[in-house]
Amino acid sequence: MIVMRTPWAAVLAAGVLLVPPVPPSARAQSTPAAPSASAAAATPHVVFDKTSAYGRVLVIDEGRRRVLRFDDVDGVDQSAMSLDDPTSVPMEYVRYAGLGVVFPPRIESVLMIGLGGGSFTGMVHRAFPEARIDALEIDPVVVEAARRFFGVVEDEKYRVVVADGAAFVRDSTMRYDLVLADAGIATGIPEHHTTDPFFSSLRERLTANGVLVVNLGLDARENAAIARRIASAFGADACLCASTPVDANLVVFATLHRPALDVRRLRARAVSLDGRGLLPYALSPLAAELGPCPAFP
């Protein structure tokens, strides 16, 4: 859910245009130009603003794009949806997290930690309608926003559970083919979702061929440090990573089934799934970026 944007410097090109001076009277009579239609369309419009025990939850429409943010109207996007095409996947890290479906031979059960707007679980539910999906979200107001404004609809295969993800995986005995850990708060990732016990509990929730996907949106060194904790829980040779090129998130994939880490096989499976049109975007270009996780001293 959380995406820490990389700051970009503005680059300005300066030019000189020689024109006759404008008389003061003409300047005084001039009026500001009306905002363009595109600028007006992009003006943020708050459609939901409610505070829970965990903080302020906002849903904001910016033109034809709807976003979920915490605490601040100008905060980090936690989830996003196109109002023109709600089944598309505008969030870059969610598209990369979708690579999780290429690891297991079958997707029969999915666990999502951190519902957000439900874009990941909704995408997987459409692609694998027979799979059992449990989505965990600690904040009931986030669940309300997801249902009212992001199209989250539960059924007999897809349920949303209001619970803390760390406590759920610690106490549960269920196992899943695909687990995405993506709990987020306004300032980053809940600390107890970055610990050795948490990742050890997640390992216990996987089926024999299951895969854990963890989205990390902190700075590069923090991401690498957490990736090392995941590798410690699963084994040094049990992880692959991909970095999102725009937002610089690190997406970690960990599995106990070592043959599943064959990158050539994963890329071939991505091509096969693309041929079936299961997801609303191509997996194979993203699978080409899978590789070893970064390491910092």
Q: Are residues 168 and 234 in the same domain?
A: yes
Q: Are residues 191 and 259 in the same domain?
A: yes
Residue 193 in domain: yes
Residue 7 in domain: no
Q: Are residues 258 and 153 in the same domain?
A: yes
Choose the final residue of a domain: 54, 82, 110: 82
- State pLDDT tens for residues 113-134: 999 999 999 999 999 999 999 9
- State pLDDT tens for residues 11-21: 323 333 333 33
Q: Are residues 108 and 191 in the same domain?
A: yes
Q: Are residues 191 and 270 in the same domain?
A: yes
The tally of domains found in the chain comes to 2
Residue 293 in domain: no
pTM listed for this prediction = 0.84
- Residue indicated by tokens 């999502």: 112
Question: What's the CATH code of the domain at 230?
Answer: 3.40.50.150
Put the strands of the sheet holding 55-62 in their side by side order: 45-52, 55-62, 65-70, 77-82
Q: Considering Cα of 253, then 257, then 261, then 265, what sign does the dihedral take?
A: negative
Q: 75: domain range?
A: 39-82
Q: Are residues 132 and 256 in the same domain?
A: yes
Q: Are residues 60 and 117 in the same domain?
A: no
Q: Are residues 270 and 134 in the same domain?
A: yes
Task: Report how far apart, in Å, the C-alpha atoms of 286 and of each of 69, 241, 275, 281 are.
Answer: 26, 11, 15, 10
CB within 8 Å of 108: residues ≥ 6 apart: 128, 130, 131, 132, 177
Residue 2 in domain: no
- Residue indicated by tokens 């999906």: 133
Q: Are residues 130 and 217 in the same domain?
A: yes
Q: Are residues 238 and 100 in the same domain?
A: yes
What is the predicted pLDDT for the residue at 296?
A: 66
Q: Are residues 71 and 159 in the same domain?
A: no
Q: Are residues 259 and 123 in the same domain?
A: yes
What is the predicted pLDDT for the residue at 15?
A: 33
- Low-confidence residues of the chain: pLDDT under 70: 1-41, 185-187, 296-297
Choose the final residue of a domain: 47, 62, 82: 82
